[in-house]
Amino acid sequence: MILRALRSCYSVLLLLAAWELFARSGMVPRTLLPPVSLVLQRTAIALATDTFVADLATTLFRLLAGLALAVGLGIALGVISAQTRAGRAIFEPLVRVLGPLPKIALFPVLLLTLGFDNTPRIVLVLIDAIFPVMLAAHYAARAVDEKLIWSARAAGTSPTGCVLRVILPAAMPQILTGIRVAAVIACVVVFLSEMVQPGDGLGDQMIRAARAFRSVDMFVPIVVISGLGFILDTLLALVRRRALGWAG
């Protein structure tokens, strides 16, 4: 089992080995490229350090709060807008205008209007992560086979009941895929917000390390936030497989 898992990602192992050898070969100074073993060792130490864990907790809070809001609002807005002709007419142009806008550019606005603490970062995560959820919910809700809805309506289900008990479950596989994308976006965005406007959190750790030219410590926050993204993504994939075994 383990052997097969290792063989399936041999390229990753090769890459890590090459990094390690190259860093140890003396061809590059350690300050530019520390060996991967050192980075991982330092990551382990950091994860046992109170200050680092406090920053991790701060980041995690912002990330999860923003993501939870994005999921809740995204599903609600996406599904509800799909129910009326007006909602469908507004949805696409709205997304065409707001979708390509790099939301991080709005971060200064959020800082100016919401203060410099958690709120602007949570809102930034929200406005970035909401798009994949909302898009998935909207188009999945629109694509629900009308005969499923008719079957329920004939059995006496009200239009609201149809939304909750037919459209929502039918759209759930796509919505969960959207949430997976949103989770990774949320990790990236919260980290960037902490780098752009440092103060605390993992991104702040990165900036502090960069300013002090502590190169190993620059890799550590990146490894941790990427690991967080990977874990969230894997958990959501697990949820999808568990809860949505019915989907083909």
DSSP-derived secondary structure for 134-153: HHHHHHHHHHS-HHHHHHHH
Stretch that binds other proteins, among 38-46, 52-60, 61-69, 216-224 (CB under 8 A): 216-224
Stretch that binds other proteins, among 48-56, 65-73, 79-87, 108-116 (CB under 8 A): 108-116
- Exactly one of 131, 167, 205, 220 binds other proteins (CB under 8 A); which one? 131
Cα–Cα distance between 51 and 205 in angstroms, integer?
A: 10
Instruction: Give burial (CB, 10 Å; 0-12/13-18/19+) of 245.
Output: exposed
Which residue reads 């609201």 in tokens?
Answer: 160
Distances (CA, A) of 148 to 142, 145, 168: 12, 6, 12
Cα–Cα distance between 128 and 135 in angstroms, integer?
A: 12
Q: How many CB atoms lie within 10 A of CB 230?
A: 12
- Exactly one of 4, 25, 97, 160 binds other proteins (CB under 8 A); which one? 97
The answer to whether 107 and 170 have CB atoms below 8 angstroms apart is no
Q: Least distance (Å) from other proteins to the CB of residue 108? A: 5
- Exactly one of 19, 61, 87, 92 binds other proteins (CB under 8 A); which one? 92
Considering only residues 141-180, where is the footprint of other proteins by CB under 8 A? Answer: 142-143, 145-148, 150-157, 161, 166, 169-170, 172, 174
Helices (H) and strands (E) in the chain, counts: 12, 0
Stretch that binds other proteins, among 17-25, 39-47, 52-60, 137-145 (CB under 8 A): 137-145
Q: Does 217 bind other proteins (CB under 8 A)?
A: no
Q: Does 2 bind other proteins (CB under 8 A)?
A: no
Chain centroid offset of residue 146 CA = 32
Q: Does 247 bind other proteins (CB under 8 A)?
A: yes
Considering only residues 46-75, where is the footprint of other proteins by CB under 8 A? Answer: none
Which is nearer to other proteins, 80 or 244 (by Cβ)?
A: 244
Single out the residue of 194, 63, 191 nearest to residue 117, CA to CA. 194
Which is nearer to other proteins, 65 or 128 (by Cβ)?
A: 128
Cα–Cα distance between 13 and 62 in angstroms, integer?
A: 32
Which is nearer to other proteins, 65 or 70 (by Cβ)?
A: 70
- Exactly one of 17, 72, 76, 99 binds other proteins (CB under 8 A); which one? 99
Q: Does 1 bind other proteins (CB under 8 A)?
A: no
Q: Does 11 bind other proteins (CB under 8 A)?
A: yes
